[in-house]
Amino acid sequence: MSLRHTYTLIAPFYDAMLARATRAARQHSLAALPAEAGRVLLAGVGTGLDLPHLPPRHHYVGLDLTHAMLRRALPRVGAVDFVPVQGDAQCLPFASGSFDSAVLHLILAVVPQPAHCFAEIARVVKPGGSVLVFDKFLRRGQPALLRRLANPLVRRVATRLDVVFEDLLREAPELALEHDQPALAGGWFRMIRLRRI
C-alpha cells in the first residue's frame, strides 16, 4: 500500500489519534518561529493540527501528499495567510531558497526516504533560516528492540520507528543543530531547532 493511499484512508482518524497528545509539543515548537515576518513552509501539514498555533505574522505554505489531508486542514486556517499545496516532501516543488523557515512536524518518520526530505528542506530554506522539527527518533546505538521488530510492518502502514536523527543531520551539512530536547514518550519524540548555514 502506498503512503498516499494509507494517509488518504487514515485522514478521518488522524486527529483522534494525535491532536491531544501532541498539542503542547506543537505549541512549544512553533513558539520558536522567527519574530520577523517571513515565508514559512509547513512540510507535511496533514490535517492542519499546527495551524491554530501559528503566529499570524508569517505567510505559510502547507504541503501534503494527499488531498484528503489538505481538505481537513482548510477549516483550521483561521486568520493566518495560508496556501495549501499538494506535493511530495521528498521532492519539493519549490525553488531553492524559497522559504525563511520550515516546520517538519511528524513528517521525517513518515516519508519512505527521510534523508531526501531533509535534504530538500535544506535546499528550499534560505541561508540563515530556521528549521523546526518535532518527531520520533531513535538515538544512535539505541537498542529499542520492540520498535525495530515492529518497524517492517508499521512503516508499511503509517510511520517508521527506526529513523535516527543524527544520520539525517549527517546527510544535510547545510543544517546546523541549535537546540534539541525531549518532548514526549520518555524522549522518543524530540523538539529540534536548526539553522540553515
pLDDT by 10-residue block (mean), the chain, 197 residues = 57 67 93 97 96 97 94 94 97 98 95 94 98 89 58 54 89 96 80 97
192 touches 179 (CB < 8 A): yes
Range of the domain at 122: 3-196
Tell me what pLDDT residue 151 has: 44
60 touches 128 (CB < 8 A): no
CATH for 130: 3.40.50.150
Phi (first) and psi of residue 20, to 5 degrees: -65, -40
Report the alpha-carbon distance of residue 20 to residue 15 in Å, rounded.
8
β-strand 175-184 against 99-105: which pairing, if any? unpaired
Tell me what pLDDT residue 166 has: 94
How would you list the strands of the sheet with 81-86, edge to edge?
A: 81-86, 59-64, 39-43, 99-105, 125-136, 189-196, 175-184
Q: Enter the pTM of the model.
A: 0.86
Q: How many domains does the chain have?
A: 1
Report residue 177 as a C-alpha cell: 543543530
For the chain, strand residue ranges (E) read: 39-43, 59-64, 81-86, 99-105, 125-136, 175-184, 189-196
Tell me what pLDDT residue 188 has: 74
Report the alpha-carbon distance of residue 105 to residue 14 in Å, rounded.
14
Report the alpha-carbon distance of residue 121 to residue 96 in Å, rounded.
9
Report the alpha-carbon distance of residue 77 to residue 50 in Å, rounded.
9
Phi (first) and psi of residue 160, to 5 degrees: -95, 150
Tell me what pLDDT residue 183 has: 86
